């Protein structure tokens, strides 16, 4: 069931996922994008096709009606977040989460009825295996706890209101525009520098990866429907060993690096094997 959504406000539009979300939305929708001094949009092919509205979430907007300021969008896809990839900084909790809570509740108080926000698999914390949306969360990072608290607080906020609230938990992704510090970007950079060896972890950890274009497509489909709300894992449900992921990537691009497995330890804030249960997402695909 498709919502009667015509205009969508996208935050974080110039980020890794946001770029692809805007591109896909533009085929059918009127898109508004937030700009700040920090995120001047450059290079995106959709620059001339969206409406830019300046806004900075770190300013005091408590007296403003942001919903009217953003020209009453039918739906909001909220991707923006600060301070990544430093998952451990307490700024996620003592600074950012309240900014996002106030931003989103300002929109909802003033009339927004359809909100999609990205969460993270770090909300699950160190739980292993196939993770379903109804598992109690146990985040161990400041970022995971901030997102988890934001979701729980918004849940309390929307409880007695007529609001479509979708919380999309992102797992891992790769693709065009990815952070240069991410794994496959580093493999690519090493290959292009003709380095013989690539240092990495043992690579046996099992992760849930999706191409960023699929992530963006899932987000757009979730945002534009009104049947499925609450927490939705944006996951493949198909765990892959990180070593296999890297080898497959090298094969596709015919990179001839030798992998130096076990050079780095595993990060302490992730379990060795976890992936998302994608049933809720897939029920969208096949109605």
Peptide bond into 85 cis (omega under 30): yes
Measured from the CB atom, the residue of 105 and 132 that comes closer to a second copy is 105
Q: Compute the least distance from the CB of residue 269 to a second copy, in Å.
A: 11
Q: Compute the least distance from the CB of residue 139 to a second copy, in Å.
A: 8
Which class for 91: exposed (0-12), middle (13-18), buried (19 or more C-beta within 10 A)?
Answer: middle
Q: Compute the least distance from the CB of residue 151 to a second copy, in Å.
A: 11
Measured from the CB atom, the residue of 138 and 283 that comes closer to a second copy is 138
Structure tokens at 258: 């030798």
Q: Compute the least distance from the CB of residue 62 to a second copy, in Å.
A: 11
Please tell me whether residue 82 binds a second copy under the rule CB under 8 A.
no
Report CA torsion sign: 102, 104, 107, 113: negative
- Residues 90-129: x/- map of binding to a second copy (CB under 8 A)? x--xx---x--xx--x------------------------
Per CB under 8 A, which of residues 147..176 are in contact with a second copy? 149, 152-153, 156-157
Q: Which of 137, 225, 229, 236 binds a second copy (CB under 8 A)?
A: 137
Q: Compute the least distance from the CB of residue 144 to a second copy, in Å.
A: 10
Q: Compute the least distance from the CB of residue 83 to a second copy, in Å.
A: 14
Spatial distance between the Cα atoms of 277 and 275, rounded to a whole number of angstroms: 7
Q: Which stretch binds a second copy (CB under 8 A): 137-145, 161-169, 241-249, 277-285?
A: 137-145
Q: Which of 76, 108, 142, 187 binds a second copy (CB under 8 A)?
A: 142
Which class for 54: exposed (0-12), middle (13-18), buried (19 or more C-beta within 10 A)?
Answer: exposed
Report which secondary-structure segment, H or E, holds 51: strand 51-54
> Directed axis angle between helix 142-158 and helix 97-109, to 10°?
20
Q: Which of 136, 180, 196, 287 binds a second copy (CB under 8 A)?
A: 136
Query: Which residue(s) pair with 168 in the sheet?
Result: 118, 232
Q: Which residues of 212-235 are buried (b: 16+ CB within 10 A; e: fewer)?
A: bbebbbbbbebbbbbebbebbbbb
Measured from the CB atom, the residue of 266 and 269 that comes closer to a second copy is 269
Structure tokens at 55: 């806004």
Spatial distance between the Cα atoms of 151 and 237, rounded to a whole number of angstroms: 22
Measured from the CB atom, the residue of 14 and 229 that comes closer to a second copy is 229
- Residues 55-74: x/- map of binding to a second copy (CB under 8 A)? --------------------
Count residues contacting a second copy (CB under 8 A)?
Answer: 20
Q: Compute the least distance from the CB of residue 98 to a second copy, in Å.
A: 6
DSSP string across 117-175:
EEEEGGGGTT--EEE-TTSPP---SHHHHHHHHHHHHHHHHHTTS--EEEEEEE-EEE-
Footprint of a second copy (CB under 8 A): 88, 90, 93-94, 98, 101-102, 105, 136-139, 141-142, 145, 149, 152-153, 156-157
């Amino acid at each position: 069931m498709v919502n009667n959504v015509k205009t969508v406000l996208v935050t974080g539009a110039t980020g890794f996922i946001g770029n692809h979300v805007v591109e896909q939305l533009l085929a059918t929708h009127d898109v508004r994008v937030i700009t700040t001094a920090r995120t001047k949009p450059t290079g995106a092919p959709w620059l001339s096709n969206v409406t830019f509205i300046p806004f900075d979430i770190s300013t005091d907007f408590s007296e403003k009606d942001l919903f009217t300021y953003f020209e009453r969008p039918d739906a909001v896809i909220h991707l923006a977040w600060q301070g990544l990839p430093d998952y451990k900084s307490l700024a996620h909790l003592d600074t950012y989460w309240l900014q996002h809570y106030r931003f989103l509740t300002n929109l909802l108080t003033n009339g927004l009825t359809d909100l999609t926000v990205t969460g993270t698999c770090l909300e699950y914390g160190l739980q292993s295996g196939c993770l379903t949306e109804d598992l109690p969360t146990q985040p161990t990072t400041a970022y995971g706890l901030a997102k988890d608290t934001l979701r729980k607080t918004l849940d309390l906020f929307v409880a007695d209101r007529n609001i479509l609230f979708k919380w999309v938990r992102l797992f891992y992704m790769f693709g065009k525009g990815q952070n240069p510090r991410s794994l496959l970007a580093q493999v690519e950079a090493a290959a292009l520098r003709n380095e013989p060896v690539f240092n990495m972890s043992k690579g046996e950890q099992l992760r849930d990866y999706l191409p960023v274009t699929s992530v963006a497509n899932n987000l757009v489909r979730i945002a534009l429907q009104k049947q499925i709300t609450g927490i939705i894992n944006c996951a493949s449900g198909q765990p892959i060993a990180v070593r296999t992921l890297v080898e497959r990537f090298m094969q596709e691009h015919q990179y001839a690096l030798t992998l130096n497995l076990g050079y780095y330890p595993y990060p302490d804030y992730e379990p060795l094997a976890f992936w998302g249960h994608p049933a809720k997402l897939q029920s969208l695909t096949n109605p």
